[in-house]
Every structure is written in C-alpha cells, then in structure tokens.
Amino acid sequence: MKKKIPVLPMPLDKALKISKRFMGFGEFFSHMFPGLAFELEQSELDFEPREWISLGIFAFVFYFSLISVTLFSVFTAFKIDIFRTLLISFGSGFVLGTMGFLYVVFYPRLFVTRKTNAIEKNLPFALHHLLIEVRSGVPLFNALVSISESNYGLLSEEIKKAVDEISTGKSEIAALEMLARKNPSLYFRRVLWQIVNSLKSGADIGSTIKNIVDTLSEEQRIAIKQYGAQLNPLTLMYMIFAVIFPTLGITFILVISSFIGIGIDVRFILMGILGFLLMFQFMIIGLIKSKRPVGV
C-alpha cells in the first residue's frame, strides 16, 4: 500500500490485517456512509467501504485503549478519586478514539478535495498551454505529452495517465473518457468531455479549447467578485467582535464595577478576552481561506 493514513499507528497494510477482525462492524456501519464507495474510487484507494470502515474502527479501538489506559495509570499513581479517574480516562479515550475513527472514514473525502484543488489550481494555465500548442499545429497527443512533462503538479500526473494509455494503443477518445470518469474535479471533467465530443464530431480542437479557456476565465472573474462580496460582512464581523466589543466591553465592566463597588480581577478579564480574540482570529482566517476561490 503506497498511501499512508496519518492517524493510523502503523503502515496501512499491517493495519488492514488487524482491522479484518472488525469486518462485521464495518459491514454494519458502512450503510451509514452511502457515498464512501464513490469517494474511495476517486481517491484511488482500492478498498470496499466495509474494509475502510473496519480500519476506522481499528483506529477507534487503538486510541481508546491507549488513552484510557495511560490516563488511568497516571491518575491511579497520583491517588485521584476512582470515579473521577474512570470518568476522565474513558471519556477522553472515547472522544479521541471517535476523532480517529471519523478522520479515517472521512479521509477519502479530504483526499479528493485536496486533489480537486490541486488540479483546478493549474487548470487555466495548462489549458492556455494546450491552446498554444494546438493552435501552432501540434497534434493533440503531442500537446498532451508536453503538458504531462510540464510543471503543473497533479494535473500533469493526471494527463500522463491518459498519455500512457494512448501510448499502449488505446484511442485518444477512450483514454480521455477514462480519465474523465475517474477524476474528481468537475471543471477538469467538463474540459475533457468537451474535448472528447469535439474529437467524436470532428470539430476544430483549437476553437473548442479557446471556448473552454474563455468560459473558465469568465467563471474565475465571477468567483473573485463573489469572494470580494463575501469579505465585506466578514470584515464587519471582525471589526465588531475583535475591535469594538473588547474595547467597549472592558470600559463598560470597569464603569459598572466602580458603581456597584465590586472588586474585579482585571488580569482574569484580560486573559479571557485575549483567549477569545485568538480563537476568533483563527476562525476568521479559516473562513477567509475556505471561501477563497481555487487558483486565486
């Protein structure tokens, strides 16, 4: 197994041998994730859903046992109350074990998302490259070879799969259709299907690619405008919660406490506000990054 799942405590092939003991549970829980089979196919993980779920159950059992036993041993050594020891030990083990299980189950979806972003990031540049090659009179296969040998990251690797298939005797149409069926990127699939339709109908490939490039450029401009419009409310939210509320809040608390005559630990309040601001900053940064268009 070439792919490595970060949360698993051992290589994937060894973890798979142990997880076979949980295959029955994997069969039961696999019905709760109906899209898992498609995600496994697109992420090129050669597993059945029940096998993959059993890996997640193995991760749960491993981390539940490790965390529970470790915390139980530590708390027992410090002679902490047995009820609190059991509650914290098994509670922490259950939470971390569940996190490990969910990470394994949703790993194919995460992998597909990263793969899609990596492909779409370089797609406009690769299409311009392809357009220049085809308009210069270079055959489509040679243009695809040029892209597969260029520095377009994962996109070049995907194109190389089609190039290898064509080199073994498969037609350009069949190779591109195969690539379109297995690729998770909607934009990339749409580009491939349009090229395939042009090849089938005998239309000019250069004109087809030019239309695709123009369409993608227009969609990218629209996405940038939408992204800018989404930043306005986020900026307003940041100003309110990160600037106005902390400043006015401290002033309001100090004024009220002076009227009521209650002593307030200012350091405690400042530490609380600082912690809130740190979490809020990370949340805002995460929102901005998540809404940013691919390739911008």
pLDDT digits (tens, 9 = 90+) for 103-127: 999 999 888 888 888 888 888 889 8
**85 and 138 inside one domain:** no
CA 207 vs CA 122, 130, 198: distances in Å:
21, 12, 10
Instruction: Please state the domain count of the chain.
Output: 3
Residue 3 is assigned to a structural domain of this protein: no
The mean pLDDT value for 222-248 works out to 83
pLDDT at 2: 47
> 210: domain CATH number?
1.20.81
- The domain in which residue 176 lies consists of 118-216
**123 and 208 inside one domain:** yes
The mean pLDDT value for 230-245 works out to 83
**143 and 180 inside one domain:** yes
Weakest-pLDDT range from 68-72, 86-90, 279-283: 279-283
The mean pLDDT value for 269-284 works out to 81
- Please give the residue that has the higher pLDDT: either 87 or 262: 87
Residue 2 is assigned to a structural domain of this protein: no
Last residue of a domain, one of 183, 216, 249: 216
Last residue of a domain, one of 196, 216, 236: 216
Sign of CA dihedral 112, 117, 122, 124: positive
pLDDT digits (tens, 9 = 90+) for 160-208: 999 999 998 888 899 999 888 888 888 888 889 988 998 888 878 888 8
Burial 241-267 (b: 16+ CB within 10 A, else e): eeeebbeeeeeeeeeeeeeeeeeeeee
Helix axes 82-135, 205-239, angle to 10 degrees: 140
Rounded CA-CA distance 54/97 in Å is 13
Asked if residue 296 has pLDDT above 70, the reply is: no
Q: 166: which 2 tokens?
A: 């064509």
One-letter identity of residue 177: E
Asked if residue 221 has pLDDT above 50, the reply is: yes
Residue 166 is assigned to a structural domain of this protein: yes
**pTM for this entry:** 0.68
Asked if residue 137 has pLDDT above 70, the reply is: yes
**28 and 104 inside one domain:** yes
In Å, the largest CA–CA distance within the chain is: 88
Q: 159 near 183, Cβ under 8 Å?
A: no
Q: Residue holding tokens 């749409």?
A: 190
Last residue of a domain, one of 78, 110, 142: 110
Rounded CA-CA distance 119/189 in Å is 11
The mean pLDDT value for 137-156 works out to 90
- Position 3 confidence tier, pLDDT thresholds 50, 70, 90: low
pLDDT at 160: 92
- Position 156 confidence tier, pLDDT thresholds 50, 70, 90: very high
**133 and 189 inside one domain:** yes
**195 and 254 inside one domain:** no
**84 and 106 inside one domain:** yes
Task: Write the DSSP string, 195-256.
Answer: HHHHHHHT--HHHHHHHHHHHHHHHHHHHHHHHHHHHHHHHHHHHIIIIIHHHHHHHHHHHH
Q: 210: which 2 tokens?
A: 């030019």
